[in-house]
Chains A and B, each alone.
Chain A
Amino acid sequence: MDNRHFIPPAVSRRDFLRRTGNGFGAIALAALGTEQSMLASTSSPLLPKPAHYAARAKRVIFLFMQGGPSQMDLFDYKPKLAEFAGKPFKLPANYEAPGLNKTKLMPPISSFRRYGESGLHMTEWFPMIGNVADELCVLRGMQTDTEAHTTAVRQINTGAPVQVRPSMGAWIVYGLGTENSNMPGFITIRPSLTGDAGSPQNFGAAFLPAIYQGTPVGLAKSEEPAAVDYSRNEKLTSGLQSRQMEMLRALNRDFVSRTPDSAMEGMIESFELAFRMQSEAPGLMDLSKESKATQKLYGIDEKETRDLGQQCLLARRLVEAGVRFVQVNDDGWDHHVSIRELLPKKCKQVDRPIAALITDLKARGLLEDTLVIWGGEFGRTPFDQDLSLGKAGEEKRGREHNPRGFTMWLAGGGVKGGLVHGVTDDFAFRAVDQKVHMHDLHATILHLLGLDHEKLTYRYSGRDFRLTDVYGRVVSEILA
């Protein structure tokens, strides 16, 4: 080979510091301890860790309904809203949004009925979720800080609307480790990576060690079930590949000892995990291993429920296998336009898969220590919005974003089922009593997992950071 043109690289600043003997590298390496504590599997950062106190939930499935599900049409019926339908609504001062110049109150667009022994009052568009109504702990007084998707999506996922902070799943795996060392502790199924709905930041680790970051499987809007690709080597036997891994480990160990960096350590952990995943992931991701009856239960046999059905079934398989935090990503809840036509369709897509998930978890004895979270980044306004600016008819109208009061629900691990907590005003516009801010929800989720949100900290840039920043109250009223 011809290397006549090779010019040796100049000594870098870091290289220089390292070589002078007292460089940052040497200091950082000393701080990291022995080579063994950095790399040996006995000290894997994913090993299960003790909680701060007894946990009510061991794992989480977060059903993220991106867009802003309309609370007054689904969970929070307001007779006054029906009574004053068509009347003008006095917008808050400085409130601006397109299509609101002739806005008026829009009545609840769905009929409500009571479900279960608890008599939970909910839309008739959720008949199957209604069958598990007694498991639901409905939070009608949710609040979040911002009313744009990007910031609110970031806040529900990371606690912070603007800054780059670790995601909820990353915090939880950092706090508790995971129970299956052959799989990532945090998996997000078909996340949206772009636009209003998402960014890798929403499942990122930010300043936490990179190994706690969510592993995405599948892509949003893909027509195929989420899969882990490249989990088989076409040429090498597993024996040969272990030899190769051994070599890779040695190369990386050598490199990290010269240039310690948390991202690279994350990369090393990530390689180890990848190698172990090869044995487990393909089987785990294969939904055809489930019986026809189970597939039908989740609605995988029908076009409109197939997508979310696959995600929910996969989520159950993953938590059953010991994955700590699984996020299911659904979107299409942003009904600015034609809400009368689109919301019932959306409900139809999610009703069966979500009800199936709860039913299935319960049947397997998993619901008692699995926390299921349902919700979007905010809710919607009681007044209507006309983005056609008067050109289109009434049926084309929708509702605007609303962070002041909206509904989310929890089920399973340690929460009271059949409970409604939180009250909004007569039009379901603002939460007025038993309010639960997003920070409070995060504090409560950590509490259910046995983690004290004030103690789960990570020192970065000179101070201790938390998922709840300097906020958060555990909503003790909803604990079972």
Chain B
Amino acid sequence: MNARRLEAETIRDSILAITGKLDLTEGGDTLPTHSLETFLPNLTTFNPSAVIKTARLPENLRYRRTVYLPIFRTKQMKELDILNYFDFAEPTQLNASRRTTVVPTQSLFLLNSPWIAEQAEVLATKLMQDDQLLDRQRVNELILLIFNRKSTEAEIMRGLEFVYDFERRASADPTVNAAGPPGRLAWTAYIQTLLASNEFLYRI
């Protein structure tokens, strides 16, 4: 079968579209000269790896489509690590086609990246704010949003079972409390799991 994994930019943009944060503004400056100090606090060191390491997207670029973001020559800034992990093309070279790699370090990124967790939490918070929704509607909404299809009854049951079980475990674990209310943590974990799943990452 010819399943194709989403490209790095598409994964990032899709996640932001799902959380409702994607900024669809067109055009603009590639180099954010209006906030250069935020973007490149170490610019004057002339040490490329230090510059990349400390570079941060200015607030007004954080949710822009990936195609409009500033790109470094060798490696992308931490906040755009998704590009480093998911086969973004080397910007200094001609690339007839991109290679798609499948390696465990990508999975580690999906499971543990604070950026993904942050986006999942944005969506979890939004989802919980709507107190008219029943939990089963929430699962239904998420599957619709993330997989772009209707959910099955079995999926809804499995999702609910996961969220309730996770919440119970998280409440029982004192070390987790610092990370936020167990309910939000459970929904965040569920969302992150959907975002890390093959059904989201592959197009068939």
Partners in one complex: yes
CB contact between A261 and one of B3, B81, B165 (< 8 Å): that residue = B3
15-57 of chain B: CB within 8 A of chain A: 49
In the bound complex, residues from chain A placing their C-beta under 8 Å from that of B68 are none
Known: A250-B158, A255-B199. A1 touches B150 (CB 8 A): no
Contact of A240 among B105, B141, B148, B189 (CB under 8 A): B189
Closest to A219 in B: B75
Q: Is B192 an interface residue (CB 8 A)?
A: yes
Cβ of A110 < 8 Å from any Cβ of B?
A: no
On whether A256 and B198 interact (CB within 8 A), knowing A231-B108, A243-B166, A261-B3, the answer reads yes
For B144, list chain A residues within 8 Å (CB): 3, 6
Q: Let me know if A1 and B127 touch, CB within 8 A.
A: yes
For A196-225 the 0/1 string (1 means CB < 8 A from B) is 000111001100001101111101011110
Q: Nearest chain B CB to A306's CB is how many angstroms away?
A: 14
Cβ-defined partner of B175 (8 Å) among A213, A237, A259: A237
Q: Are A232 and B199 in contact (CB under 8 A)?
A: no
A244→B107 CA distance, assembly (Å): 13
* Assembly CA distance A271 to B112 (angstroms): 12
- In the bound complex, what is the Cα–Cα distance between A232 and B202 (angstroms)? 25
Which residues in B have their C-beta under 8 angstroms from that of A259?
A: 1, 3, 202, 204
- Give the interface residue-count category, chain A: 35 or more
Cα of A243 to Cα of B199 in the assembled complex, Å: 19
Which of A1, A8, A193, A215 touches B145 (beta carbons < 8 Å)? Answer: A1
B199 & A251 in contact (Cβ 8 Å cutoff): yes
**CB pair A252 B127 closer than 8 Å:** no
| Nearest CB of chain B from residue A237's CB, rounded to whole Å | 6
Within 8 A of B (CB), among A1-26: 1, 3, 6, 8-9, 12, 14-15, 24-25
Chain B residues whose C-beta falls within 8 Å of the C-beta of A194 in the assembled complex: 90, 92-93
For B175, list chain A residues within 8 Å (CB). 237
State whether A277 and B90 are in contact (beta carbons under 8 Å apart), knowing that A240-B173, A243-B165 are contacts in the complex. Answer: no
Task: Give 1 or 0 for each of B83-108: 1 = CB within 8 Å of chain A CB.
Answer: 00001001011000001111111111
- Asked whether A248 lies within 8 Å of B93 as measured between CB atoms, the reply is no
Report whether B107 and A235 are in contact in the complex, using a CB–CB cutoff of 8 Å. Answer: no
Q: A237–B178 Cα gap in the complex (Å)?
A: 12
Tell me the bound Cα distance from A322 to B204 in angstroms: 36
Asked if residues A200 and B101 are in contact (CB atoms below 8 Å), the reply is yes
Q: A216-B105, A222-B49, A252-B197 in contact; A240/B169 too (CB < 8 A)?
A: yes
Can you name the residue of chain B whose Cβ is closest to the Cβ of A15?
Answer: B204
Chain B residues within 8 Å of A252, by CB = 197-199
> Among A24, A214, A244, which residue has its beta carbon within 8 angstroms of that of B1?
A24
B181 in the interface (beta carbon within 8 A): no
Judged by a CB distance under 8 angstroms, whether B124 is at the interface is no
- CB atoms of A236 and B189 under 8 A apart: yes
Q: Which A residues are CB-close (under 8 A) to B198?
A: 251-252, 255-256, 264, 267-268
**Could you say which residues of chain B place their CB within 8 Å of the CB of A195?**
90, 93
Whether A387 is near chain B, meaning CB under 8 Å from some CB there, is no
Asked if A230 and B108 sit within 8 Å, CB to CB, the answer is yes
A229 touching B173 by the CB < 8 A rule? no
Task: Give the docked Cα–Cα distance between A213 and B87 (Å).
Answer: 14
Among A6, A28, A193, the one with the most B-chain Cβ atoms within 10 Å of its Cβ is: A193
Nearest-neighbour CB distance to chain B for A184, whole angstroms, equals 6
| Minimum distance in angstroms from B103 CB to a CB of chain A | 5
Given contacts A230-B113, A256-B198, contact A213 B103 (CB under 8 A): yes
User: In chain A, what residue has the closest Cβ to B50?
Assistant: A223
Name the B residues within 8 Å of A374 (CB-CB): none
Q: How far is the CA of A204 from the CA of B149 in the complex (A)?
A: 33
Q: Is there contact, CB below 8 Å, between A233 and B103?
A: no
Contact: A275 with B105, CB < 8 Å?
Answer: no
Q: Is B134 in the interface zone, CB < 8 Å from A?
A: no
Task: Say whether A48 faces chain B, with CB atoms less than 8 Å apart.
Answer: no
Q: Using an 8 Å CB-CB cutoff, how does the interface string of A375-419 with B read, 1 for contact, 0 for none?
A: 000000000000000000000000000000000000000000000
Q: How far is the CB of B19 from chain A (nearest CB, A)?
A: 11
| Contact partners of A234 in chain B: CB under 8 A | 112, 114, 117
A344 interface hit (Cβ, 8 Å): no
| CB-nearest residue of chain B to A255 | B199
Within A249-288, which residues are at the interface with B (CB < 8 Å)?
250-252, 254-256, 259-261, 263-264, 266-268, 270-271, 273-275, 277-278
CB contact under 8 A between A3 and B107, given known A236-B189, A237-B176, A243-B166: no
| A residues less than 8 Å from B169 (CB atoms) | 239-240, 243
Cα-based distance from A25 to B3 in the complex (angstroms): 12
How long is the Cα–Cα vector from A327 to B126 in the complex, in angstroms? 46
| Beta-carbon nearest neighbor of A193 in chain B | B90
Picked from B5, B109, B113, B141, the residue with its CB within 8 Å of the CB of A1 is: B141
Whether B201 is near chain A, meaning CB under 8 Å from some CB there, is: yes
Residue from A245, A255, A259 whose CB has the most chain B CB atoms within 10 Å: A255
Complex CA distance for A108 and B1, rounded to whole angstroms:
55
Q: What residue in chain B is nearest A231 (Cβ atoms)? A: B108
- The residue that A263 contacts in the complex, of B5, B74, B193, with Cβ under 8 A, is B5
Most chain-A Cβ atoms within 10 A of its Cβ — which of B1, B117, B194? B1
Per the bound structure, the CA–CA distance linking A25 and B126 in Å amounts to 37
Counting CB contacts under 8 A, is B131 at the interface? no
CB interface residues, A 136-166, toward B, < 8 Å? none
- Shortest Cβ distance from A1 into B: residue: B141
A-B contact pairs, 30 of them (CB 8 A): A9-B149, A184-B104, A194-B90, A195-B93, A200-B99, A204-B101, A205-B102, A215-B104, A216-B103, A222-B49, A230-B109, A231-B108, A231-B112, A233-B112, A240-B166, A240-B169, A240-B173, A251-B199, A252-B199, A255-B198, A255-B199, A259-B202, A261-B3, A263-B3, A267-B202, A270-B104, A271-B104, A273-B107, A274-B104, A275-B107
Top 5 A-B pairs, shortest CB-CB distance: A274-B107, A194-B90, A274-B104, A210-B102, A261-B3
What residues make up the interface of B, taking CB atoms closer than 8 Å to A?
1-3, 5, 49, 74-75, 81, 87, 90, 92-93, 99-109, 111-114, 117, 126-127, 130, 141, 144-145, 148-150, 155, 158, 162, 165-166, 169-170, 173, 175-176, 179, 185, 189-190, 192-194, 196-199, 201-202, 204
